[in-house]
Amino acid sequence: MSTRHVMVETYLGPITVVAKGGAISGLYYEHHVRRPSPEAFGPEADIGKDLLLNEAVRQLCDYLAGRRRDFDLPLAAEGDAFQHTVWDIVKSVRRGHTTTYGRIAEQVGDRSLAQKVGQAVGANPLCVFVPCHRVVGSTGALTGYAGGLKRKQALLELEEPPASDAGRLF
């Protein structure tokens, strides 16, 4: 099956979920910083007939409603080897925790790569499914998010850990 998409209305605004073949390849907000052209999303799918997109939307809605903590979906983001390394690290950041661009840079082998890590995080085409909202600045301040800082804040508040763990980095 080719590239196709569905749109879902959420309290974060409309979200477009894109599938390519048998995997989810994108999640984009309406005013997403690096949102591809609509043609790149393929035709709109019938969510009742597309089991993969149906499941992705179900899991996304459950997550946003606080009923789901993790996602169990086949993901296939397009990116280079460095981006995939960064995205794999981002995927390992547990719900209720955050990390910094510098810490990710250290994990890839060189703290001086923090800016390049930031670029890779910003290029993540699977926002929410690959939780780039959990990456913050070195002081813990909220920094860029392709969906906007209000959405980043809302996602972090949704995932807020118990009071004893507040502010803890993973």
Q: What is the pLDDT of residues 2-24, one digit of tens each?
A: 999 999 999 999 999 999 999 99
Is 132 catalytic? The answer is yes
Cβ distance 7 to 14 under 8 Å?
yes
139: exposed, middle or buried (Cβ count in 10 Å: 0-12, 13-18, 19+): exposed
∠ CA 43-72-116 to the nearest 5 degrees?
80
pTM tops 0.85, yes or no:
yes
Q: Return all residues near 41 (Cβ < 8 A) that are at least 6 apart.
A: 3, 4, 5, 16, 18, 26
Does position 25 have pLDDT exceeding 50, yes or no?
Answer: yes
* The predicted structure's pLDDT at residue 1: 58
Does position 163 have pLDDT exceeding 80, yes or no?
Answer: no
Per-residue model confidence as pLDDT tens digits over 36-68: 888 899 999 999 999 999 999 999 999 999 999
Query: Domain 81-165 carries which CATH code?
Result: 1.10.10.10
**Residue among 6, 45, 132, 136 flagged as catalytic:** 132
Q: Return all residues near 61 (Cβ < 8 A) that are at least 6 apart.
A: 8, 10
Does position 165 have pLDDT exceeding 60, yes or no?
Answer: no
